[in-house]
Amino acid sequence: MSEVPPSRDQSRNQPNRVLVAKREARGWSRKRAAQELHRLGESRGLPELDAIEKAIYRHETGRAICRDPLYIELYCTLYQATAQELFGDITPAAIPPGRLSGVRSHKFIPAYIEAKQVPDLIYSETMVPVGATFGLECHKVKVSNAHGECALYVWPFGVAMFHLVEELELPSLANLAIWRRRTYARDLEWASDYLSSSVPAPVSASYVLSTYWVHTPSWPAHELDTALRIMCIPRILHERDSEMSGSSLAHAELVERSLLSEGFEHADMTPFGFKGASLGYASWSGVVYHPVAPRRALAEDELVNVELATQAMWTYCEFINSQVELGADPQVPSQYGWRFLRGVRSRLINARPQETEYHKCMRMAVLTTSGTLDLLSGAIEILRETSER
């Protein structure tokens, strides 16, 4: 087992107080901790008990920095923590050979159904009210979908939205790009058919917006950031108007390897991660997030709730703008007119007293890159002008 002694400019040992606290919280001596590590790692080539106890002493006191992948893995297992939390190292733990990247895909599939159809939909689907996010109260029900866990949300101003969660294991980013493009058409058709069978008038789902929660990355440390950037805009791997064929996948894989080697930047992509805690990017195409230190990073439902509110308002404002483009004055319920939208805009853009900096940066990145703030401002002016006539 390898140990790296402190360099000369680290002549003062820096104890690893996190390791000490984790051990003491269990009421363990170093000898007991060594026994537990030995039990976990005996079949993996861990040394004898005395050597393990000495290693723990050196790791805890800072006399040696723990760099051995096996020790790191076993410490993480023993203390139910990540490598970053225990050692301050944002390098992701090594993934066994052959294991794929673990990603949870969140698809948001909205449609405008008109406010007058909302009560009937709530009744027919036996929907229940859920807590308001940014002051936007809505109803929710779980629905059956063959591809993942799915819920239907509906807001009283006339927006319905499916939230489809799918667990993915991806051999490559190219496979993600192909899967994304192929399933978008499938999901739009399914959402449109579901809503059209639930309300009197035909409904067409507007679009699919993806957010990827990367919980088990397999890329090496020097590629991880670039991989997440590509995942934020996976369309970059496609040839324009390419077919979903084997040759298309082969081309996407070639582009992926090139970008992972050379790096990938995009002017319209906004970062919202924090060093040592998370990596996150938002763009017009979607959002990607990796909690490097899960206990300090954003929670998954925080990101989901912001996306639900953002996409609901985007869809409502897009309907208002589309009516103007057709030469008509938008007809919306008076309680959801320009004053309502002005209040929503304020709640979306202004920080709350208890809001964390992590959440604030994520919220603004999602709102800005989605174009929702511009749509809101435009819809407010349209409705205000219409009401004054």
- Given a cut of 60, is residue 246 above it in pLDDT? no
Structure tokens at 189: 């058709």
- Cβ atoms within 10 Å, residue 352: 11
- Cβ atoms within 10 Å, residue 67: 14
Mean pLDDT within 140-147: 96
CB 201 within 8 A of CB 132: no
For 273-290, write each residue's pLDDT tens digit.
998 889 999 999 999 999
Mean pLDDT within 356-371: 96
- Given a cut of 70, is residue 242 above it in pLDDT? no
CB burial string 87-124: b at 16+ within 10 A, e below: bebbebeeeeeeeebbbbbbbbbbbbbbbebbeebbee
Q: What pLDDT band is residue 219 in, cutting at 50, 70 and 90?
A: confident
Q: What pLDDT band is residue 13 in, cutting at 50, 70 and 90?
A: low
Per-residue pLDDT at 271: 97
Q: What percent of the chain has pLDDT over 70?
A: 90
Is 7 or 134 the better-scoring residue by pLDDT? 134
For 176-211, write each residue's pLDDT tens digit.
999 999 999 999 999 999 999 999 889 999 999 999
- Given a cut of 80, is residue 239 above it in pLDDT? no
CB 193 within 8 A of CB 75: no
Beta-strand ranges (E) seen in the chain are 3-4, 65-66, 101-112, 128-133, 136-143, 149-155, 159-170, 209-216, 270-271, 278-282, 286-291
Per-residue pLDDT at 132: 76
Provide the mean pLDDT of the chain: 88
Out of 5-14, 95-104, 194-203, pick the least confident: 5-14
CB 166 within 8 A of CB 182: no
In three-state secondary structure terms, 378 is: helix
Per-residue pLDDT at 243: 57
Q: What pLDDT band is residue 240 in, cutting at 50, 70 and 90?
A: low
Mean pLDDT within 77-99: 65
For 58-74, write each residue's pLDDT tens digit.
999 988 888 777 888 88
Q: What pLDDT band is residue 247 in, cutting at 50, 70 and 90?
A: low
> Among 41, 98, 91, 90, which residue's Cα sits nearest to residue 70?
41
Q: Which residue, chain included where needed, has tokens 């940066």?
A: 361
- CATH no., domain 3-87: 1.10.260
pTM for the model: 0.76
For 16-35, write each residue's pLDDT tens digit.
888 999 999 999 999 999 99
Rounded to 10 degrees, what is the CA torsion of 339, 345, 346, 347?
Answer: 110
Residue 185: which residues within 8 A CB-CB, separation 6 or more?
none
Is 51 or 363 the better-scoring residue by pLDDT? 363
- Cβ atoms within 10 Å, residue 183: 18
Tell me which DSSP letter residue 300 carries: H
DSSP track, 97-166: TTPPEEEEEEEEEEEE--GGGHHHHHHHTT-EEEEEETTEEEEEEEE--TTSEEEEEEETTTEEEEEEEE
Out of 19-33, 46-60, 95-109, 329-343, pick the least confident: 95-109
Instruction: List the chain domain ranges.
Output: 3-87, 101-384
Out of 6-10, 140-144, 218-222, 277-281, pick the least confident: 6-10
Q: What pLDDT band is residue 352 in, cutting at 50, 70 and 90?
A: confident
- Given a cut of 50, is residue 6 above it in pLDDT? no
